[in-house]
Amino acid sequence: MSIESKQWYTPIENEEVVWYTHPSHLVYSLYIYHPLILGIVLYAVASFYELHWQVAGEDPVLFALIILVSVTAYRLVWLYSIYYVITTRRIIKKTKIIGRDSSFISHRNIDRVDATVGTLEALVSYLRKGQIGSMTILSRQYGNEQITFKYVPNVNEAERHLEKLSGDLIG
């Protein structure tokens, strides 16, 4: 599904989407999947020791597993509700599942772009094609506003797009 069809995206005049992505699910995998892993371990331990607790006629281990699976599903939806977008006119970061929290910086107001690759990002980059990293885009207006794209898959590609677009504005 293209970004243009998303309800939260409202293009401005003569604006085209050049690049967009979500944060890398590989970096967030421990955060996302640890409730599910905990639930499976809890259920396995309870089954191994044949623990059958009854609380109001229900198995609390199964209940806990259902809750932990729900938390995992919510975190996956949360991750895929974050968008990092580079258009021909601006940089956009969209967060939140319900509602919308979008921030943007016009290309003309970009002062500096810092791309970094941390240790965790470098390790996870070996598992996939492309460099995972973070980008901070600093604005020269609005009190030095900044937008940070965390755990960007193919951060080098995003950086190339920004360099090309800023070169087009200057040249």
By C-alpha distance, which of 44, 122, 28, 128 is closest to 79? 28
Roughly how many angstroms between the first and final C-alpha of the chain, as a whole number?
33
Domain locations along the chain? 30-77, 107-170
Place of tokens 């970004």: 3
User: pLDDT tens, 3-57?
Assistant: 777 877 888 888 999 999 999 887 777 777 777 787 778 777 777 776 665 554 5
Total-model pTM: 0.78
Asked if 39 and 46 count as a contact pair (C-beta separation under 8 A), the reply is no
Q: Which pair of tokens denotes residue 101?
A: 């929290």
Give pLDDT tens digits for 97-122. Answer: 877 788 888 888 888 888 888 887 88
| Angstrom distances, CA of residue 16 to CA of 19, 40, 46, 58, 102 | 9, 45, 54, 54, 17
3-state class of 57 per DSSP? Answer: coil
- Contact of 128 with 138, CB cutoff 8 Å: no
> Distance (Å, rounded) from C-alpha 171 to C-alpha 168?
5
pLDDT digits 0-9 by tens, 57-103: 566 667 777 888 888 888 888 888 899 999 999 999 998 887 778 88
What pLDDT is recorded for position 121? Answer: 82
- HSE at residue 147, side-chain half, CA atoms within 13 A, is 27
Q: Would you say residue 141 has pLDDT above 70?
A: yes
CB 78 within 8 A of CB 96: no
